[in-house]
Amino acid sequence: MTKISSTGLTRRALLGAFAATAIVAAPSYSNAAGFLRGGGDIRRIRMYSGRTGERLDMIYWVDGKYIKDAVKEVNHFMRDWRTDQVKAIDLRTIDIMAAAHNLLDVNEPYMLLSGYRSPGTNAMLRSRSRGVAKNSLHMKGQAADLRLASRSVSQVARAAQSCRAGGVGRYSRSNFVHMDCGVIRSWGR
């Protein structure tokens, strides 16, 4: 097959990705685990950052393979914006975020509040809030704090929990949901 670009995409994979973006049907909550195990042909993540003004709308997985350049862009987007440090985001976290977004059946991108946090940033935030863990998974690139204007914290949290793939924290007062690829657990209201 003919390669289309340096990303290693074949023409078939690229055409499939474009065709799949036109599909609007989302899997049901009961299909969430299947989606994470590769039940879909593409995976897409949509986010924006109120801190940096950046936007991301990226197909990062096609035909059973992660797209290296796309994942690199996601890592950069989810960097510690305070220090500009980049860390590889655990692909499981990106998959959970994408699956939950798909289940919510919205076109609106997530607002990313926090992705990777350097140890210094985490310590600073911890000194200001009791809700920041000393050994936060954010420092390992395994967590994200997200918001959707069109969905409640409860709706977003339920979608993430239905993936049964990591931790989900509800922060209703601050209007965001924490998603991570750690041990399956939930907290908050």
Domain residue spans in the chain? 11-188
In whole angstroms, give the CA distance from residue 60 to residue 72: 9
The pLDDT tens digits for 26-39 are 334 444 444 454 44
Q: What is the model's pLDDT at position 132?
A: 83
* Mean of pLDDT values over 129-133: 82
pLDDT for the residue 189: 81
Instruction: Show the tokens assigned to 109.
Output: 């991108």
**Whole-number Å distance between alpha carbons of 119 and 60:** 27
pLDDT of residue 30: 41
pTM: 0.78
* Amino acid letter, residue 67: I
Q: What is the pLDDT of residue 40?
A: 56
Residues 48-101 pLDDT 10s: 998 999 999 999 999 899 999 999 999 999 999 999 999 999 999 999 999 999
pLDDT score recorded for residue 1: 42
pLDDT of the residue at 29: 40
- Per the prediction, the chain carries an average pLDDT of 84
Q: Quick check: 59 and 98 in contact, CB under 8 A? A: no
Which range has the top average pLDDT, 17-31, 47-61, 123-137? 47-61
- Bigger pLDDT: 27 vs 132: 132
Tell me what the mean pLDDT of segment 142-170 comes to.
96
Would you state the torsion angle of the CA atoms of residues 181, 21, 7, 48, taken in this order, to the nearest 10 degrees? -60
CA–CA separation, 4 and 17 (whole Å):
13
